[in-house]
Amino acid sequence: MSTLLATSYSICVATIDLIGLFGNVSLLLIILLNKAFRQNKCSIIIGFIAFCDGSIEFLTIILQIFHLSGHQFYQHECFYTMIVIVFTNCCQTVIPIFRSAVGCGYSILVSKRYLFLEADRPLIACNPPASLNTIAHNIWNKTGICLNVITVLVYGTAGVILWLKARNQPSAHIRTEITVMKTIAFIVLFYICTWCLMNCLNFLKEVSLKYLTADEAMTFVLASGIPAHSCFAGNFYIYMWRNLSYREAFIRLWKRRSTHVVSTFYSN
């Protein structure tokens, strides 16, 4: 059961991250190779997030290769392995920085207690929730839930403000504002379906822990990683769907690459 669960988890996460890595690398190339995007502050932020997401996906794929090769991770080793991934995630926005700082700060301030409060048990698979002991995991998860709610409220408030402004604007402006509001609504929905779902699964595991077997508890921990990785992988595809400029740049990018490959092949 444990082996099947670990293998299924590794294959699923690696597949999601491969799809996401292609998207984030494409997004980085689009921004780097187009002067208009390089001069746009919003595009620079998007590129930075794509770099962080792509780095996380690359490291996670390597981690899943270790899993599939039969490497046995223990909790302490998993924690040190996750530091790089969590740090990269911290670099994206203020909210992940604060959220992860709570868990990491706690572990640094009481490092001995953090490391040795629980036995260095073997893990079915290694991900950030599995690397934390019970106390640190509870703090990390509850802080995440609170900050996720704040994030949703901020996006929701922005949508309401745009809607109120759109009512007093000319028709052309209204159409633009409606497009922006739809994008915000989809971002909030996607965020809820990924990070909030991850926190809810972790919280559900906490409240029902005494009724679960070890394998069932680990199933919740591993399942919570799937929506989080989907969030890393999904940003590029959201931009392609919602933004015509990015779509056109993506088509030009890979059309140019395909033409170059074909020309090189025939010239040889």
At 144-199, the pLDDT tens digits run 677 767 767 777 776 677 677 666 666 665 666 666 666 667 767 777 778 777 77
Can you give the pLDDT at residue 110? 46
Q: Where does residue 118 rank: exposed (0-12), middle (13-18), buried (19+ CB within 10 A)?
A: middle
Q: Which domain CATH number covers 134? A: 1.20.1070.10
Sign of the Cα pseudo-torsion (118, 120, 121, 124, in order): positive
CA distances 235 to 4, 91, 187, 243, Å, are 30, 16, 9, 12
Q: pTM of the entire structure?
A: 0.67
**Contact criterion met (CB below 8 Å) for 85 and 128:** yes
Number of domains in the chain: 1
- List, for the chain, all residue ranges whose pLDDT scores fall below the cut of 70: 1-2, 42, 86-121, 124-125, 129, 137, 144, 148, 151, 158-159, 162, 165-184, 187, 209, 214, 256-268
- pLDDT, position 138: 73
Collect all residues with Cβ–Cβ distance below 8 Å to 179 and sequence separation of at least 6: none
70 Rama sector, left if φ>0, alpha if ψ -120 to 50, beta otherwise? left
Please tell me the predicted confidence (pLDDT) of residue 22.
Answer: 92
In terms of residue numbers, what domain contains 219?
1-266
